[in-house]
Amino acid sequence: MDPDHPQLIGDCLIHIFTFLTEEDLIRVSSVCKDWHEAAETPWLWRRMCLQRWSFCNLSVLGKEQVNHSWKTYFLRRCHLETKMTKGQSGGYTCKSLRGHTGRVVGLVYVQGNSVQQPDLWNSSATVCSASTDGTVRAWNVQNGERLWCSPVQSPLTGIVSDEQREVVITADSTGLIKTWQSQTGQELASFSTASPHCTLLQYSINNDWFVTVGTSQGSVCTLVDLTLTKKSSIVVCDTFRVNILLVSPDKKWIAAGTKDNDDLSPKVLYTESLTSPSEDEDPLCQSVPVTGCQAAVFIPTQPARLAIIHQDQHPNNRALTVFDVSIKKSKYKSEIQVQQVEFFPLTLNLWRSDILLEAKDSNHIVLAAGEQLWVYSLKGILLATFKDHTLPISSISVDSFRVVTASQDLSLRVLTWRNDRDRGLTLESQYHLLGGSHTMSRAFTHVACDYSSIVASVEAAVHHQSLINGTPGSCGAAHLLIISTIKAGCTLHTLPDTKLCSRSQLSRLALLLKFSIEKALP
């Protein structure tokens, strides 16, 4: 060792490098051999990955990417998310998918690229769409190929899916519920509710599979297994259709209600009493102490915390109330307890509009009404508001990476979440994806996302229907569905990694290291 130029030992370098950004970490790796070895330490990149994302799935890297896999994972995922954030036309593929002759009433992923465990190289996904033309169609998102089409039946009114079991569940205008094998289109079972409008909810408890159906007559019917065997039925809003139907994250509670009557209260049902009913007792049910429910959502990170938007004193005023749901059991009976934990008024200034409500985590509520989007904390603090559309928002999709809004103005707006050191989690509006011409199309009606694609349905202005997969701003005449998919090529993106650093770069690195060392010292 040269006494005039003492060197830092490896562990010290690694500790100092924890204060650098990924760009600076790559730059310091080109200073000398010792710095390169320290900067390539897998522990550093693993730490950086877990700081940025709550879950990282290294298995998606494949055997050919074993060396420095944490660095490979970090750079690849950053590269994809940068492309998705910028929305430049080169980052997306476009395809037109033609098929349906009626209005699309719903679309679901049956094999998607999970946001929680994204596959960074293979972005293949399958989407199923249901239409008033009486068919279910499955599509390959990546190449636009139609995989299968069901036989024609009565106009469909709804669709949900179970990706784990690879099953699609549909309802038609006669109240016929059907299950389909999502990969082949084979019909598995059917059950008739005799209801022209059905709201579908699928969930599993301890490997047991259930579908709960809300009907036009105000009842909630629970079916078990893929054979759709009836287990129980209970009336929750007599003569009014059940169009709010949710299951709690812990699967112990179902919230059911109607948006069609301002005097009725939503109900909370104990799931066990629906799926394993007692012969001599009705299912456990409790009214929530609010009326005029217009939207509801369970908070995803809490076992049973329910947020409801409802009327507040005056019919034009709205409020959001948060409840914790629990059960109190005694020797002779069990009681559902609904306890209010938060309440705050909303200033939506809308006479009557569909309100869309989603929850990001334990502290962020996203709601849309009219042309606007709002982000609230669960304490009632307005964190952000956006007005990116010229016509009402018809659908929203919210996940841990982004929010996508679909509007009647024939555009999608993409917003992304960002962790800000000073303000915490923030939502930033990024770019539009255009859906075509109003001469051919009327409005976007539904939107859904996985990690690497966006799927949205368009109501056509004429009876000619199609599916379109398009680049931002250049989709042409979109009629039925537009799919924007990020390119999944396997080229690894890296930041500039030169063999030698210039004098200015070395000066900057010296300042960074000086700052890092000072920060690292006790």
pLDDT of residue 152: 95
pLDDT of residue 56: 67
pLDDT of residue 316: 73
Backbone angles phi, psi at 11, to 5 degrees: -65, -35
User: Cβ distance 265 to 293 under 8 Å?
Assistant: yes
DSSP notation for 191-259: EE---SS-EEEEEEETTEEEEEEE-TTSEEEEEETTTTEEEEEEESSTTS---EEEE-TTSSEEEEE-S
pLDDT of residue 397: 94
419: Cβ contacts below 8 Å, ≥ 6 apart: 425, 426
The CA distance from 142 to 92, in Å, is 11
pLDDT of residue 463: 44
User: Cβ distance 201 to 246 under 8 Å?
Assistant: yes
The CA distance from 256 to 221, in Å, is 11
Give all strands (DSSP E) within 79-218, no chain letters: 92-93, 95-97, 104-111, 126-131, 136-140, 146-149, 156-162, 167-172, 176-181, 187-192, 199-205, 208-214
Q: Coil, strand, or helix at residue 52?
A: helix
pLDDT of residue 38: 77
What are the residue ranges of helices labelled H in 251-339? 271-275
Residue 88 in tokens? 């430049």
The CA distance from 389 to 412, in Å, is 9
The CA distance from 88 to 34, in Å, is 39
Pairing mode, strands 441-449 and 467-469:
unpaired
- Write the CA distances from 379 to 88, 307, 362, integer angstroms: 36, 12, 11
pLDDT of residue 70: 79
Question: Quick one: how far is CA 24 from the chain centroid?
Answer: 33
The CA distance from 461 to 443, in Å, is 8
Cross-strand pairs, 407: 393
State pLDDT tens for residues 49-80. Answer: 777 776 666 665 554 544 447 787 777 777 77
- Write the CA distances from 19 to 72, 89, 446, 508, integer angstroms: 20, 35, 43, 14
64: Cβ contacts below 8 Å, ≥ 6 apart: none
The residue ranges of the chain whose pLDDT is under 70 are: 1-10, 54-68, 87-92, 94, 96, 112-123, 315, 349-353, 421, 436-439, 462-522
State pLDDT tens for residues 134-154. Answer: 999 999 887 788 999 999 999
pLDDT of residue 248: 96
User: Cβ distance 255 to 268 under 8 Å?
Assistant: yes
Report the predicted TM-score, pTM, of the whole model to 2 decimal places. 0.80
Q: Which letter does DSSP use for residue 263 in this model?
A: T
User: Cβ distance 412 to 404 under 8 Å?
Assistant: yes
Pairing mode, strands 481-486 and 467-469:
parallel
Which among 427, 457, 418, 461 is positioned nearest to 442, based on CA atoms?
Answer: 461
- Start-to-end C-alpha separation, the chain: 27
The CA distance from 487 to 90, in Å, is 8
The CA distance from 74 to 80, in Å, is 10
What structural domains does the chain harbor?
10-85+497-520 (no CATH), 87-486 (2.130.10.10)
CA geometry: angle 259, 265, 270, nearest 5 deg: 105
In the sheet with 199-205, reading across from the earlier edge strand, the strands are 199-205, 208-214, 219-224, 229-235
Q: Coil, strand, or helix at residue 121?
A: coil
